[in-house]
Structure 1
């Protein structure tokens, strides 16, 4: 009986995985030069403007995949085309191993990369596609349930200055968005025309709200865009949002990585500023497709390489770190392992690490994961039934931070995506002592804004300060025609730690009592001002 059972199990497993998944890479694209010369034929005007603003070149990767090649593939025996990518000049196919391997005989096929790494002659990391080593009205919200998670990252200070994400466009990649188009928590979003269209890449339909088997995307969106008077305020209630379903909640298969990359390309073409994805990929139903923790190096997973291209294209990508901290897997999953994205870990309402939050590891060589953290323990979100609920997961710390950054970026629109990421990290609570649990710590987005605004309208000319970083004595020089200067130093919480007037003949400032970290220093004198940052070692 045992032998019969074993035989039946083997037959079942074999038949279950008879169909393989693979990425097929093409040799070229048609009409590349003509398309780049006429970019409006392949990109929206908003996308073109965003690239110009950030000095990002329009290149061959912006040109669509050859539809003629795709049509030819569909005619091949046993081949189903599931997704396509212009960035990788590739398609995701499914079929028998022998049928997929036969595609290499086609003149326009450059390479084939099986999701089952054992079927490749080379490892995933040897793929030929390489990634390069990218007086205002005051708003006083009553936050209600979300007060803690909004104030923890100082997004409320941005809101007070009327920076609520307006003008920033976010693409949300997730698994389902039921009732977003009807429920009251998103009425403000719809009324302001900020709920843009979307697409379901899994079922290939524009009816993005029809998939009701998962409410995950609805909850994720609420952390950014939800608004219930005096009860719930997301971190970017006035940003604009595209909704893309890329996750098939019924199974785990690497085609979901391909859906995600395809959606990211769509987002790029639409001129999206940011992507939030509260998804992560580590292991699959077919264990032959699964990654190992050592693969979480930003260069192995297809989705991580795609996220790096999205960042290179000028999109700020925010990703949940994952919920594997208390499991054998433990480390941050893909695409959060990419060095080019902000991966967000989790803390509780008191700012203490929550054990489920995925951790950084030795696989992430030369860069820090997670990047920063926000509330993930019992975070407040809104369900598809328009009810405020509490859920655990870095799925929610990610949009909390993403929305906060959207509000920050509205305040400093001249900043590049790289600058935004860097200042968010620098504003965090343990920037000088990062670890695998909290990364750089809890960001202070109001401090990040102040770090940007280093030069005010009437700067003091010929001002210098040194050394920076400083250990004990900070020397400050300014023009001789200014007799005295008031110096105000703020810590990362925005608190005044030194307030002193210095004269031109006594311009050394003792900062030895300050803890190590980043500080803002404001100098005021003769109706002139300047704000700079320095590091105390």
Structure 2
């Protein structure tokens, strides 16, 4: 399997004005109450919101397109020599004035998608019609790896804290030089085994060709990579088992035997899903050759081993191969009936590259099953500890689908191999018209997860002074109508109704003598109910912070502090203030306070920390109207006012 790495295209030297298109709106999650959400709200006048209500559903009145361009990006553009002329939020670009050399430098910035002269046409972003329909942007700084993941809906699950945590992923390949690359060396590799040298080192060893482990390392990085602004893998929070079975200097049946041995090893270690970006069709002249009729999924060593692994519950995701556009170019083990066989698409318009192997199999079955981006996929390269590049082939489309499987298994751990494949196919781009080039097409794993049931994040535990914040993120096909937490501690059981802030469901409970809790969640969307976890419970310590992979404590606190429905003592009163002097008295004898301001749609307008000793606070309100103002002290007490600003 040859991975072709391509460089960055040289920029033109045209002088003048340019459009600088950014990749995102900066770091952070776009959820109600988050900093990015509040920034978007501040861009909109009340009249604009009221007008939008005539044509938009309530949950779409404020979108990420409304958020301002990320100021740090603009400042860096200015420092690089560009003069900002226009800022366009909806399509996330700025018009700048600069020379051609500056435009060249800007094209190298990881946060910039494109730099083009304003004399060029700004085409509609047609690639968004498939994959930008996702409900949530991801929380990570994906850099150039965004498109390959967004095409399959993975950032939407990342935004819910689902990135493979608790899933054990196996990879069978040419070797893995993961310990020295900055994007891989911190990944959780549980074990590795070399089935060629018969040891536990899967990186290059004496006698290996210099490029022996290039292929496997690149494949691994598409699943596991973590280097913000350059590469984020599809399931970076999973655990990994690595198996080296392929000798790139030859093509022998011994490698099929090694693959079969690796599958047995991975299955015995408890792997949930295995990535196989390898294929066997033509062997060295000294080896016996398969007949075309042997690629029926039941004959070759590799395909029979895959079937045995799947029969035992381990999902096998296999590359379709790069043997071209003729029919019946699917070889082993991609021909295995129970494998999830992966073809390639060339871009977000879902064009099909000539190299991707076609079905049907020798016995007439449809293959491949699904497809993912297989051209210019962002990967690591072994040239240096910070080497990144792009490569092509079904070898690199396959780990994208493996990432989807890992996310599905984290979201719904009881899924079987057959159910996972069916879910991926049912929400794919060609589900109504599958074909022998890309099968059912490019899946949307976020929609697949929602189709099966309510999707929940890992539990969230945030210790505070005298209390602990407990919650989860959850979403469904219809809004969550109820969320309850059950806690068992020191022989007593307590059920608590959770407050909501977008997809986040929280409660603040007092910290008591026993630091250990046993807890679970019950959620309903009015049609479906889910217990989380499905069986048993989560065992947590109230002194330990527990967050979904990649989430920031500060973002969760901001959302919870501003939006969560509290179970603490509450008093409420009404008051009127002039717009010119909106000073509100502070509750007597309270210290360590925060003041939060909401509009009547419970959207956060401001959060103010009240200085110690202050007797009143000026509300940062610039428009007349009615607001809910909430004071909260360090003991958890709350006083709220319905404030008319006239």
Taking structure 1 as the reference length, what is the TM-score of the superposition?
0.57
Q: What residue in structure 2 maps to residue 529 of structure 1?
A: 526
8 A contact 1:455–1:531 mirrored in 2: no
Change (3 A) 1:528 1:170: closer
Where do 4+ consecutive residues of structure 1 move more than 4 Å? none
* Map 1:193-212 → 2, pairs under 5 A: 194-211=188-205, 212=210
SS at match of 1:529: coil
Match in the other structure for 1:304? 303
The whole-number CA distance in structure 1 between the counterparts of 2:243 and 2:236 is 19
**Cα distance between partner residues in 2 of 1:208 and 1:455:** 36
SS of residue paired to 1:164 = coil
Rounded to whole Å, the distance in 1 between the matches of 2:270 and 2:159 is 28
What is the match of residue 141 of structure 2?
142
**RMSD of equivalent CA atoms:** 2.4
Say whether the 8 Å CA contact 1:176–1:213 is kept in structure 2.
no
Partner of 1:250: 249
User: Going by fraction, where is helix more abundant, 1 or 2?
Assistant: 1
Partner of 2:347: 349
Closer/same/farther in 2, CA of residues 195 and 300 from structure 1, 3 Å limit: same
- By how many angstroms is 1:288 displaced? 5.3
- Cα separation, 2, equivalents of 1:274 and 1:417: 9
TM-score (norm 2): 0.48
Number of aligned residues:
322
User: Aligned partners of 1:347 and 1:376: how far apart in 2?
Assistant: 6
Shift of 1:371: 0.3
Higher strand share: 2
Counterpart position of 1:394: 394
Instruction: Look up the match of 1:313.
Output: 312
Structure 1 residues 241-272: Cα deviation after superposition (integer angstroms, max 9, x where no partner): 11110111110001100000001000111011
- Please give the per-residue CA displacement for 1:140-185, whole angstroms capped at 9, x wherever unaligned: 112111111000000111100000001111111001212x112101
Contact 1:318 1:343 in 2 (8 A): yes
1:226 — aligned with what? 225
Q: Which residue of 1 aligns with 2:374?
A: 376
1:295 to partner: Cα distance: 2.0
| SS of residue paired to 1:272 | coil
Determine the structure 1 residue equivalent to 2:611: none
Shift of 1:139: 6.2
Please give the alpha-carbon distance, in whole angstroms, between the structure 2 residues aligned to 1:528 and 1:277.
38
Give, in whole Å, the separation in 2 of the partners of 1:369 and 1:406.
22
Q: Which residue of 2 aligns with 1:158?
A: 157
Is the partner of 1:185 in helix, strand or coil? Answer: coil
Provide the C-alpha distance between the structure 2 equivalents of 1:455 and 1:259, rounded to a whole number of angstroms: 38
**Matched residue, 1:37:** none
| Structure 1 contact 138–162 (Cα < 8 Å) conserved | no
Q: Secondary structure at the match of 1:323?
A: coil
Q: Distance in 2 between matches of 1:422 and 1:176?
A: 31
Secondary structure, aligned partner of 1:186: coil
Compute the displacement of 1:368 (Å): 2.1
Aligned with residue 182 of structure 1, among 177, 180, 183: 180
On the 8 A contact 1:282/1:292 being kept in 2, the answer is no
Q: Which runs of 5+ in 2 are unaligned?
A: 1-135, 457-475, 479-523, 530-646
Q: How does 1:436-455 map to 2 (within 5 A)?
A: 436-453=436-453
Q: Residue by residue, what CA displacement relative to the aligned partner does 1:1-25 show, whole Å, maximum 9, x if unpaired? A: xxxxxxxxxxxxxxxxxxxxxxxxx
C-alpha displacement of 1:419: 1.1
The separation in 1 between residues aligned to 2:377 and 2:389, in whole angstroms, is 8
Q: What secondary structure, in the 3-state scheme, does the structure 2 residue paired with 1:259 have?
A: helix
Unaligned runs of 5+ in 1: 1-136, 457-488, 495-526, 533-537
Contact 1:454 1:530 in 2 (8 A): no
Does the residue aligned with 1:346 lie in a helix, a strand or coil? strand
| Whole-angstrom CA distance in 1 between matches of 2:363 and 2:431 | 18
The Cα of 1:210 is off from its aligned counterpart by: 3.4
How far apart, in 1, do the equivalents of 2:179 and 2:245 lie? Answer: 19
- Secondary structure of the structure 2 residue equivalent to 1:530: coil
> How far does the alpha carbon of each residue in 1:391-447 deviate from its partner, in whole angstroms, 9 at most, with x for none?
110000000110121012101112222211111111111112111011001101011
In the alignment, the residues of structure 2 paired with residue 378 and residue 440 of structure 1 have an alpha-carbon distance, to the nearest angstrom, of: 22
**447-456 vs 237-246, which moves further:** 447-456
1:430 aligns with 2:430: yes
Deviations 1:285-331 (A, max 9, x none): 127522233321101111101100000011000010000024x6851
Distance 2:224 2:403 in 1: 8
Contact 1:455 1:530 in 2 (8 A): no
Structure-2 separation of matches of 1:307 and 1:528: 38
- Please name the residue that 2:333 is paired with: 335
Q: 1:306 to 1:139 in 2, by over 3 A?
A: same
Partner of 1:324: 323
Q: In structure 2, what is the equivalent of residue 462 of structure 1?
A: none
Distance 1:360 1:317 in 2: 18
